[in-house]
Amino acid sequence: MLCQYLGLPDVDIETIAYRYSGARERCYHSLMRWTQVAGHQLGVNALLDVLRGSNSHKLAGMLSITFTRSASS
């Protein structure tokens, strides 16, 4: 699960797994919790590193393209 790669504490991982059954919900709430714990200063590059480390290369590539386009607009 994504929360493990984000480095969330076990209690957060268990809470998210208990409260949300769908993969999309778990992913969303994992990312929301990660921003609360890690802070917004980490930004997109830190998230891309986490995604690549979790073998989510396709998602990391899609996000990278999205943020590159929005930065150049």
Q: Please name the residues in contact with 9: beta carbons below 8 A apart, sequence gap of 6 or more.
A: 37
Provide the token pair at 59: 């998602």
The pLDDT, as a whole number, for residue 70 is: 55
Q: What's this model's pTM, rounded to 2 decimal places?
A: 0.64
Which ranges of the chain would DSSP assign to H, the alpha helix? Answer: 2-6, 10-19, 23-38, 43-53, 57-72
22-55 per-position pLDDT tens digit: 988 888 888 888 888 877 656 777 777 777 777 7
Q: Which residue has the tokens 């986490």?
A: 50
